[in-house]
Structure 1
Amino acid sequence: MSRWLCFLLLVCAQAHAAPGSTRSDEIDRILQERGLLTQLQEVRHDVADRTTTLVSTAMGFLGVPYRRGGSNAETGFDCSGFVRTIFEQAKGLALPRRANEQAAATEVIDKKDLQPGDLVFFNTMRRAFSHVGIYVGDGKFIHAPRSGAKVRVEDMSGSYWQHRFNGARRVAGEDDPIEALANAPAAR
Protein backbone atom coordinates (compact mmCIF):
# COMPACT_ATOMS: atom_id res chain seq x y z
CA MET A 1 0.00 0.00 0.00
CA SER A 2 2.76 2.47 0.85
CA ARG A 3 4.35 2.17 -2.61
CA TRP A 4 0.96 2.92 -4.19
CA LEU A 5 0.49 5.98 -2.02
CA CYS A 6 3.96 7.24 -2.97
CA PHE A 7 3.15 6.65 -6.62
CA LEU A 8 -0.17 8.51 -6.25
CA LEU A 9 1.56 11.43 -4.56
CA LEU A 10 4.17 11.65 -7.31
CA VAL A 11 1.49 11.54 -10.02
CA CYS A 12 -0.44 14.22 -8.20
CA ALA A 13 2.65 16.37 -7.86
CA GLN A 14 3.36 16.08 -11.58
CA ALA A 15 -0.23 16.87 -12.47
CA HIS A 16 -0.14 19.78 -10.05
CA ALA A 17 2.88 21.17 -11.88
CA ALA A 18 1.17 20.96 -15.30
CA PRO A 19 0.39 24.55 -16.40
CA GLY A 20 -3.22 25.46 -17.17
CA SER A 21 -4.58 22.11 -16.14
CA THR A 22 -8.09 21.94 -14.69
CA ARG A 23 -7.20 18.47 -13.43
CA SER A 24 -4.57 20.18 -11.32
CA ASP A 25 -7.27 22.16 -9.54
CA GLU A 26 -9.28 18.98 -8.93
CA ILE A 27 -6.24 17.15 -7.59
CA ASP A 28 -5.38 20.11 -5.32
CA ARG A 29 -8.92 20.05 -3.95
CA ILE A 30 -8.76 16.31 -3.24
CA LEU A 31 -5.33 16.54 -1.63
CA GLN A 32 -6.41 19.50 0.46
CA GLU A 33 -9.56 17.72 1.64
CA ARG A 34 -7.46 14.80 2.82
CA GLY A 35 -4.80 17.02 4.37
CA LEU A 36 -2.13 15.65 2.05
CA LEU A 37 -1.16 18.78 0.08
CA THR A 38 0.76 20.30 3.00
CA GLN A 39 2.39 16.96 3.81
CA LEU A 40 3.43 16.52 0.16
CA GLN A 41 5.03 19.98 0.12
CA GLU A 42 6.87 19.28 3.38
CA VAL A 43 8.19 15.97 2.06
CA ARG A 44 9.35 17.62 -1.17
CA HIS A 45 11.31 20.25 0.80
CA ASP A 46 12.70 17.68 3.27
CA VAL A 47 14.01 15.44 0.49
CA ALA A 48 15.61 18.42 -1.29
CA ASP A 49 17.28 19.59 1.95
CA ARG A 50 18.69 16.13 2.71
CA THR A 51 20.06 15.71 -0.81
CA THR A 52 21.60 19.18 -0.75
CA THR A 53 23.24 18.44 2.60
CA LEU A 54 24.64 15.11 1.37
CA VAL A 55 26.09 16.54 -1.86
CA SER A 56 27.39 19.67 -0.07
CA THR A 57 29.12 17.50 2.53
CA ALA A 58 30.73 15.42 -0.22
CA MET A 59 31.90 18.52 -2.10
CA GLY A 60 33.56 19.74 1.07
CA PHE A 61 36.07 16.88 0.71
CA LEU A 62 37.22 17.72 -2.83
CA GLY A 63 40.98 17.48 -3.01
CA VAL A 64 41.44 15.02 -0.13
CA PRO A 65 44.02 12.44 -1.23
CA TYR A 66 43.22 8.81 -1.95
CA ARG A 67 44.46 6.27 0.56
CA ARG A 68 43.71 2.57 0.35
CA GLY A 69 41.64 1.60 3.37
CA GLY A 70 41.31 5.27 4.30
CA SER A 71 38.20 6.58 5.95
CA ASN A 72 38.92 10.12 7.09
CA ALA A 73 39.98 13.48 5.67
CA GLU A 74 43.17 13.68 7.75
CA THR A 75 44.76 10.55 6.30
CA GLY A 76 42.76 10.17 3.08
CA PHE A 77 39.92 8.08 1.66
CA ASP A 78 39.40 5.09 -0.52
CA CYS A 79 36.13 5.04 -2.49
CA SER A 80 33.97 3.17 -0.01
CA GLY A 81 35.50 4.92 3.00
CA PHE A 82 34.61 8.25 1.37
CA VAL A 83 30.99 7.20 0.72
CA ARG A 84 30.62 5.76 4.21
CA THR A 85 31.96 8.94 5.83
CA ILE A 86 29.67 11.22 3.79
CA PHE A 87 26.53 9.26 4.65
CA GLU A 88 27.53 9.10 8.30
CA GLN A 89 28.18 12.84 8.53
CA ALA A 90 25.29 14.06 6.36
CA LYS A 91 22.56 11.57 7.25
CA GLY A 92 23.75 9.74 10.35
CA LEU A 93 23.64 6.42 8.49
CA ALA A 94 26.34 3.77 8.90
CA LEU A 95 26.89 2.03 5.58
CA PRO A 96 29.00 -1.12 5.30
CA ARG A 97 32.73 -0.57 4.77
CA ARG A 98 33.35 -2.17 1.33
CA ALA A 99 31.87 -1.11 -2.02
CA ASN A 100 30.37 -4.54 -2.78
CA GLU A 101 28.78 -4.62 0.69
CA GLN A 102 27.36 -1.12 0.13
CA ALA A 103 25.83 -2.34 -3.14
CA ALA A 104 24.27 -5.33 -1.39
CA ALA A 105 22.83 -3.18 1.41
CA THR A 106 21.11 -0.60 -0.80
CA GLU A 107 18.10 -0.50 -3.13
CA VAL A 108 18.66 -1.18 -6.85
CA ILE A 109 17.48 1.63 -9.16
CA ASP A 110 17.68 2.22 -12.90
CA LYS A 111 20.39 4.51 -14.18
CA LYS A 112 17.71 6.75 -15.68
CA ASP A 113 16.25 7.24 -12.18
CA LEU A 114 19.46 8.54 -10.60
CA GLN A 115 19.05 11.50 -8.27
CA PRO A 116 21.73 13.45 -6.41
CA GLY A 117 22.85 11.45 -3.39
CA ASP A 118 22.37 8.03 -5.02
CA LEU A 119 25.31 5.63 -5.25
CA VAL A 120 26.94 4.63 -8.54
CA PHE A 121 29.03 1.48 -8.83
CA PHE A 122 31.73 0.48 -11.28
CA ASN A 123 33.80 -2.58 -12.12
CA THR A 124 37.35 -1.21 -11.98
CA MET A 125 39.15 -4.31 -10.72
CA ARG A 126 37.64 -7.08 -12.86
CA ARG A 127 34.97 -7.74 -10.27
CA ALA A 128 31.49 -6.34 -9.83
CA PHE A 129 30.98 -3.38 -7.51
CA SER A 130 34.68 -2.78 -6.91
CA HIS A 131 34.32 1.02 -7.01
CA VAL A 132 31.65 3.40 -5.66
CA GLY A 133 30.87 7.10 -5.88
CA ILE A 134 28.02 9.49 -5.07
CA TYR A 135 25.90 10.84 -7.91
CA VAL A 136 25.75 14.66 -7.80
CA GLY A 137 23.49 15.30 -10.80
CA ASP A 138 23.93 16.17 -14.49
CA GLY A 139 25.60 12.82 -15.20
CA LYS A 140 28.43 13.50 -12.73
CA PHE A 141 29.62 11.75 -9.57
CA ILE A 142 32.09 12.47 -6.79
CA HIS A 143 34.53 9.80 -5.59
CA ALA A 144 37.98 8.93 -4.31
CA PRO A 145 39.43 7.50 -7.54
CA ARG A 146 42.79 5.76 -7.03
CA SER A 147 46.29 5.96 -5.57
CA GLY A 148 47.99 9.22 -6.42
CA ALA A 149 44.67 11.00 -7.06
CA LYS A 150 42.34 13.11 -4.93
CA VAL A 151 38.59 13.21 -4.31
CA ARG A 152 37.07 14.72 -7.43
CA VAL A 153 33.95 15.01 -9.59
CA GLU A 154 33.86 13.12 -12.88
CA ASP A 155 31.47 12.69 -15.77
CA MET A 156 29.86 9.25 -16.01
CA SER A 157 29.57 9.61 -19.78
CA GLY A 158 33.34 9.41 -20.21
CA SER A 159 34.27 6.20 -22.00
CA TYR A 160 36.21 4.78 -19.02
CA TRP A 161 33.27 5.13 -16.60
CA GLN A 162 30.59 4.33 -19.15
CA HIS A 163 32.27 1.03 -20.01
CA ARG A 164 32.67 0.03 -16.35
CA PHE A 165 29.29 1.14 -14.97
CA ASN A 166 27.89 -1.64 -12.75
CA GLY A 167 24.69 -0.17 -11.41
CA ALA A 168 22.95 2.45 -9.34
CA ARG A 169 21.62 2.15 -5.81
CA ARG A 170 19.60 4.27 -3.42
CA VAL A 171 20.21 4.44 0.31
CA ALA A 172 16.96 4.36 2.25
CA GLY A 173 17.19 5.65 5.81
CA GLU A 174 14.91 4.72 8.68
CA ASP A 175 13.56 8.25 8.71
CA ASP A 176 12.77 8.33 4.99
CA PRO A 177 10.17 11.15 4.68
CA ILE A 178 8.32 9.58 1.74
CA GLU A 179 7.93 6.30 3.59
CA ALA A 180 6.80 8.16 6.71
CA LEU A 181 4.17 10.04 4.69
CA ALA A 182 3.00 6.86 2.99
CA ASN A 183 2.48 5.17 6.36
CA ALA A 184 0.83 8.16 8.00
CA PRO A 185 -2.96 8.09 8.40
CA ALA A 186 -4.87 10.57 6.24
CA ALA A 187 -5.80 13.77 8.09
CA ARG A 188 -9.53 14.35 8.33
Structure 2
Amino acid sequence: MHKSFSPSLRRLPLLAVLLVCFLLGACSSLSTIRYKPRGPESGKGSEVVLFALGLIDTGYRFGGKNPEAGLDCSGMVAYIYDRSLGLKVSGSAADIARRGQPIDRSQLRPGDLVFFNTRNAPLSHVGVYIGNNRFVHAPSTNGRVRIDSMHSRYFAQRYETARSYFD
Protein backbone atom coordinates (compact mmCIF):
# COMPACT_ATOMS: atom_id res chain seq x y z
CA MET A 1 0.00 0.00 0.00
CA HIS A 2 1.35 3.46 -1.00
CA LYS A 3 1.37 6.10 1.72
CA SER A 4 1.26 9.62 0.26
CA PHE A 5 1.07 11.47 3.60
CA SER A 6 3.01 11.06 6.78
CA PRO A 7 0.98 9.75 9.74
CA SER A 8 1.02 13.17 11.43
CA LEU A 9 -0.42 14.92 8.36
CA ARG A 10 -3.23 12.39 8.07
CA ARG A 11 -4.34 13.29 11.58
CA LEU A 12 -4.71 17.01 10.89
CA PRO A 13 -8.38 17.84 10.92
CA LEU A 14 -9.75 19.28 7.71
CA LEU A 15 -10.95 22.35 9.59
CA ALA A 16 -7.41 23.25 10.69
CA VAL A 17 -6.13 22.96 7.12
CA LEU A 18 -8.94 25.16 5.84
CA LEU A 19 -8.28 27.74 8.57
CA VAL A 20 -4.59 27.97 7.64
CA CYS A 21 -5.47 28.38 3.95
CA PHE A 22 -7.97 31.11 4.79
CA LEU A 23 -5.46 33.00 6.94
CA LEU A 24 -2.75 32.79 4.30
CA GLY A 25 -5.15 34.07 1.66
CA ALA A 26 -6.28 36.93 3.89
CA CYS A 27 -2.71 37.99 4.61
CA SER A 28 -1.74 38.06 0.95
CA SER A 29 -4.73 40.19 -0.03
CA LEU A 30 -3.84 42.86 2.54
CA SER A 31 -0.60 43.70 0.74
CA THR A 32 -2.15 43.99 -2.74
CA ILE A 33 -1.62 47.39 -4.35
CA ARG A 34 -4.63 48.82 -6.16
CA TYR A 35 -3.70 50.29 -9.51
CA LYS A 36 -5.89 52.83 -11.26
CA PRO A 37 -6.79 52.11 -14.88
CA ARG A 38 -4.63 53.89 -17.46
CA GLY A 39 -5.67 55.71 -20.60
CA PRO A 40 -4.02 55.41 -24.02
CA GLU A 41 -0.29 55.93 -24.57
CA SER A 42 0.82 59.51 -24.20
CA GLY A 43 3.01 61.73 -26.36
CA LYS A 44 5.08 62.35 -23.23
CA GLY A 45 6.09 58.70 -23.14
CA SER A 46 7.21 58.85 -26.76
CA GLU A 47 9.35 61.92 -26.02
CA VAL A 48 10.99 60.14 -23.09
CA VAL A 49 11.72 57.04 -25.21
CA LEU A 50 13.21 59.04 -28.09
CA PHE A 51 15.48 60.91 -25.70
CA ALA A 52 16.49 57.66 -23.93
CA LEU A 53 17.36 55.99 -27.24
CA GLY A 54 19.57 58.97 -28.09
CA LEU A 55 21.73 58.12 -25.07
CA ILE A 56 22.54 54.55 -26.16
CA ASP A 57 26.27 53.83 -25.81
CA THR A 58 26.86 56.79 -23.44
CA GLY A 59 29.51 55.91 -20.86
CA TYR A 60 28.67 54.86 -17.29
CA ARG A 61 29.90 56.80 -14.28
CA PHE A 62 28.73 56.26 -10.69
CA GLY A 63 26.89 59.42 -9.63
CA GLY A 64 26.97 60.68 -13.23
CA LYS A 65 24.25 63.13 -14.17
CA ASN A 66 25.12 64.20 -17.74
CA PRO A 67 26.21 62.37 -20.90
CA GLU A 68 29.50 64.27 -21.24
CA ALA A 69 30.79 63.01 -17.87
CA GLY A 70 28.89 59.71 -17.89
CA LEU A 71 25.59 58.56 -16.39
CA ASP A 72 24.46 56.16 -13.73
CA CYS A 73 20.91 54.77 -13.81
CA SER A 74 19.20 57.44 -11.70
CA GLY A 75 21.23 60.23 -13.29
CA MET A 76 20.19 58.97 -16.70
CA VAL A 77 16.49 59.01 -15.74
CA ALA A 78 16.79 62.50 -14.21
CA TYR A 79 18.55 63.78 -17.34
CA ILE A 80 16.00 62.22 -19.71
CA TYR A 81 12.94 63.47 -17.84
CA ASP A 82 14.40 66.98 -17.45
CA ARG A 83 15.45 67.34 -21.10
CA SER A 84 12.44 65.64 -22.72
CA LEU A 85 9.62 66.86 -20.45
CA GLY A 86 11.11 69.58 -18.26
CA LEU A 87 10.20 67.37 -15.30
CA LYS A 88 12.53 67.34 -12.30
CA VAL A 89 13.16 63.78 -11.11
CA SER A 90 16.12 63.38 -8.79
CA GLY A 91 17.74 61.24 -6.12
CA SER A 92 18.53 57.56 -6.04
CA ALA A 93 16.53 54.91 -7.88
CA ALA A 94 14.63 54.26 -4.62
CA ASP A 95 13.85 58.00 -4.25
CA ILE A 96 12.54 58.12 -7.81
CA ALA A 97 10.36 55.05 -7.19
CA ARG A 98 8.85 56.54 -4.02
CA ARG A 99 7.65 59.66 -5.88
CA GLY A 100 6.18 57.95 -8.95
CA GLN A 101 2.67 56.61 -9.46
CA PRO A 102 2.65 52.79 -8.99
CA ILE A 103 1.57 50.90 -12.10
CA ASP A 104 1.05 47.22 -12.70
CA ARG A 105 3.57 45.50 -14.95
CA SER A 106 0.75 44.57 -17.32
CA GLN A 107 0.03 48.29 -17.82
CA LEU A 108 3.56 49.38 -18.71
CA ARG A 109 3.78 51.98 -21.45
CA PRO A 110 6.76 53.52 -23.21
CA GLY A 111 8.33 56.16 -20.99
CA ASP A 112 7.40 54.48 -17.70
CA LEU A 113 10.14 53.57 -15.26
CA VAL A 114 11.03 50.00 -14.28
CA PHE A 115 12.87 49.14 -11.06
CA PHE A 116 15.07 46.21 -10.12
CA ASN A 117 16.95 44.84 -7.13
CA THR A 118 20.46 44.50 -8.56
CA ARG A 119 22.59 45.02 -5.46
CA ASN A 120 20.72 43.02 -2.86
CA ALA A 121 18.92 46.26 -2.05
CA PRO A 122 15.32 47.05 -2.98
CA LEU A 123 14.87 49.53 -5.82
CA SER A 124 18.61 49.76 -6.50
CA HIS A 125 18.37 50.09 -10.31
CA VAL A 126 16.04 51.97 -12.68
CA GLY A 127 15.49 52.02 -16.42
CA VAL A 128 13.13 53.58 -18.96
CA TYR A 129 10.60 51.17 -20.48
CA ILE A 130 10.55 51.46 -24.28
CA GLY A 131 7.97 48.79 -25.17
CA ASN A 132 8.02 45.09 -26.10
CA ASN A 133 9.42 44.17 -22.65
CA ARG A 134 12.61 46.16 -23.28
CA PHE A 135 14.13 49.05 -21.38
CA VAL A 136 17.02 51.51 -21.64
CA HIS A 137 19.32 51.73 -18.64
CA ALA A 138 22.81 52.66 -17.50
CA PRO A 139 24.31 49.51 -15.97
CA SER A 140 27.69 49.57 -14.26
CA THR A 141 28.49 46.23 -15.92
CA ASN A 142 29.99 46.81 -19.37
CA GLY A 143 29.86 50.56 -18.68
CA ARG A 144 27.48 51.83 -21.40
CA VAL A 145 23.83 52.88 -21.66
CA ARG A 146 22.06 50.06 -23.48
CA ILE A 147 18.80 48.25 -24.14
CA ASP A 148 17.99 45.02 -22.30
CA SER A 149 15.02 42.69 -22.14
CA MET A 150 12.94 42.44 -19.00
CA HIS A 151 12.64 38.73 -19.88
CA SER A 152 16.39 38.13 -19.73
CA ARG A 153 17.17 35.75 -16.91
CA TYR A 154 19.08 38.39 -14.93
CA PHE A 155 16.43 41.12 -15.02
CA ALA A 156 13.40 38.82 -14.86
CA GLN A 157 14.62 37.54 -11.49
CA ARG A 158 15.31 41.04 -10.18
CA TYR A 159 12.26 43.02 -11.38
CA GLU A 160 10.48 44.78 -8.50
CA THR A 161 8.00 47.41 -9.66
CA ALA A 162 7.11 50.10 -12.19
CA ARG A 163 6.20 53.76 -11.86
CA SER A 164 4.77 56.48 -14.06
CA TYR A 165 5.44 60.20 -13.80
CA PHE A 166 2.73 61.24 -16.23
CA ASP A 167 -0.95 60.47 -17.12
Q: TM-score if structure 1 supplies the norm length? A: 0.66
The answer for unaligned runs of 5 or more in structure 1 is: 1-5, 11-43, 177-188
Q: Which runs of 4+ in 1 moved over 3 A?
A: none
Whole-Å separation in 2 of the counterparts to 1:96 and 1:74: 18
CA distance, structure 2, for counterparts of residue 147 and residue 155 of structure 1: 15
Indicate yes or no: 2:40 matched with 1:58: no
Radius of gyration: which is bigger? 2
More helix by share: 1
Query: How far apart are the structure 2 equivalents of 1:64 and 1:90?
Result: 17
Cα offset, 1:70, TM superposition: 0.2
Matching residue of 1:93: 87
Aligned to 1:149: 143
Residues 34-72 of structure 1 show CA distances to partners (whole Å, capped at 9, x for unaligned) of xxxxxxxxxx6xx54322211101111111011000000
Question: For the residues of structure 1 that align with 2:141 and 2:65, how far apart are their CA atoms?
Answer: 14
Q: Answer yes or no: is the 8 Å Cα contact 1:65–1:148 preserved in 2.
A: no
Question: How far apart, in 2, do the equivalents of 1:124 and 1:48 lie?
Answer: 29
Aligned pair partner of 1:103 in 87, 97, 112: 97
- Quote how far apart the aligned CAs of 1:149 are: 1.7
Tell me, in whole angstroms, the C-alpha distance in 1 between the residues paired with 2:159 and 2:142.
22
1:80 paired residue number? 74
CA distance in 1, matches of 2:91, 2:68: 18
Query: Could you tell me how far apart the structure 1 residues matched to 2:125 and 2:46 are?
Result: 23
User: Could you tell me whether the CA contact under 8 Å between 1:68 and 1:147 is conserved in 2?
Assistant: no
Aligned length, in residue pairs: 132
Q: Is the 8 A contact 1:141 1:153 kept in 2?
A: yes
Measured on the aligned residues, the alpha-carbon RMSD in Å equals 1.8
Task: Provide the C-alpha distance between the structure 1 equivalents of 2:91 and 2:141, rounded to a whole number of angstroms.
Answer: 18
Deviation at 1:96, TM superposition (A): 2.1
Q: Normalising to structure 2: TM-score of the pair?
A: 0.74
How far the C-alpha of 1:147 sits from its partner, in A, is 4.8
Write the distance in 1 (CA, Å) between the matches of 2:69 and 2:90: 20
| Cα deviation, residue 73, structure 1 | 0.6
Q: Does 1:168 align with 2:165?
A: no
Unaligned runs of 5+ in 2: 1-35
Distance 1:154 1:148, change over 3 A: closer
